[in-house]
Amino acid sequence: MDLASVSADLAALRQRALAAVADADDLKELEAAETAFVGRKQGALTAVLRGIGALPAEDRPRVGAIANEVREAVEEAIAERRARLAAIALEVRLAAERVDVTLPGRPLRRGSLHPLVETTREIARIFGQFGFVVYESPEVETDSLNFQALNIPADHPARDLWDTLYVDAPTNDGDRLLLRTHTSPGQMRVMRQTRPPIRALLPGRCFRHEAVDASHGFEFFQVEGLMVDEGTTMAHLRGLLDEFAHALFGAGRPTRFRPGYYPFTEPSVAFDIQCVVCDGGGCPACGRSGWMTILGAGMVHPVVLRNGGIDPEVYQGFAFGMGIDRIAMLRYGINDIRYFLENDARFLEQF
């Protein structure tokens, strides 16, 4: 070991180190080179310096000076390379994030209300003018509220009117859960939670075990109306529904009551409007009768009032229930109920 060979080693080390630094394509490679050449513990430079003790004492300062010079040169190259890599990374990122602010904007497509929502809001708006307030009621209902409290006992033949989907889940009190077959159980919830005078509107989704076709869905929408007050009569019901039909289908539209049957009303009626397709002449849409039934209604049965905690000797009420899908189909000339829930944009975009 002599001065000349150590100097040559250091010169070679310097060259290799600078080459490795220049070749480093990323921070990881750069740090590997740093550790390999100028790392304090394992670096090649440290290894050379360890051998310095074998040199004559007068040569050592010279070698130390060269070694320092090599370390400084390599560290400077590393610092430069590190800055350069950072600049490259920034350029790459900026290129990726580049935005051409001169491009025209992407158009935001304007949405619209679903025809069932729009129709529900219009119905609520009209009844709202008569003081009716919108309430919500659950879609998963109990047998007792969907049927029993509405004067439809278990095993009563009237249950055949509603093909029911039951929910297979236990309850605390042995009541059976089901998907509500109509919005009428909402009547019971409103009566039990508020006091007369009541003017309630209850829109929502209902479910029946139906064979699906153009006019029947197993999911459909109804809106229930309930008015309870002193001195409420069938004439109020008739007048209110007339106003409603005229607001929705035009002022001159003839209407009529027909006798009907529902267990929760007495008397019960069907409310018809003159066919909006043929104006009464008779066509396939109205079964050639010239009339279309748009809802069922009646005076709330005293048993139902009592179940709602209301004294039928003091208060009377009327109720009605209407299919929103059918109303929307009439308003927009839609001929198949299945369009509503298919979520086909070609259908929905038309509203």
Q: Given 3-state DSSP classes, what are the helix, strand and coil percentages for the chain, each rounded to the nearest 5?
A: 45, 20, 35
Q: Toward ligand DAH, which CB reaches closer, 13 or 237?
A: 237
Residue type, 74: V
Could you give the CA distance from residue 265 to residue 252 in angstroms, rounded to a whole number?
A: 29
291 binds ligand DAH (CB under 6 A): no
Smallest distance from ligand DAH to CB 294, Å: 11
Q: Which two tokens stand for residue 174?
A: 């042995």
Could you give the CA distance from residue 184 to residue 203 in angstroms, rounded to a whole number?
A: 10
298 binds ligand DAH (CB under 6 A): yes
182 binds ligand DAH (CB under 6 A): yes
Cα dihedral sign, 253-256-262-268: positive
Q: Residue holding tokens 């040559």?
A: 8
184 binds ligand DAH (CB under 6 A): yes
Smallest distance from ligand DAH to CB 231, Å: 19
265 binds ligand DAH (CB under 6 A): yes
Interface residue with ligand DAH, options 9, 224, 272, 325 (CB under 6 A): 224
* Strand-pair partners of 300: 265
Could you give the CA distance from residue 4 to residue 285 in angstroms, rounded to a whole number?
A: 110
Smallest distance from ligand DAH to CB 103, Å: 55
Interface residue with ligand DAH, options 149, 273, 319, 334 (CB under 6 A): 319
Which residue's beta carbon is nearest to the bound ligand DAH? 321
Strand, coil or helix: 342: coil
Choose one: 4-12, 80-88, 242-250, 291-299; the region binding ligand DAH (CB under 6 A).
291-299
Choose one: 7-15, 116-124, 277-285, 294-302; the region binding ligand DAH (CB under 6 A).
294-302
Q: Residue holding tokens 């008739």?
A: 238
Choose one: 80-88, 240-248, 296-304, 333-341; the region binding ligand DAH (CB under 6 A).
296-304
Could you give the CA distance from residue 334 to residue 347 in angstroms, rounded to a whole number?
A: 10
Could you give the CA distance from residue 307 to residue 301 in angstroms, rounded to a whole number?
A: 10
Smallest distance from ligand DAH to CB 265, Å: 4
Q: Toward ligand DAH, which CB reaches closer, 70 or 295?
A: 295
Could you give the CA distance from residue 303 to residue 263 in angstroms, rounded to a whole number?
A: 10
296 binds ligand DAH (CB under 6 A): yes
Smallest distance from ligand DAH to CB 262, Å: 4
- Look at strands 166-167 and 177-179 and give their pairing: antiparallel
Residue type, 231: G
Interface residue with ligand DAH, options 320, 327, 329, 339 (CB under 6 A): 320
271 binds ligand DAH (CB under 6 A): no
Binding site for ligand DAH (CB under 6 A): 182, 184, 224, 262, 265, 296-298, 319-321
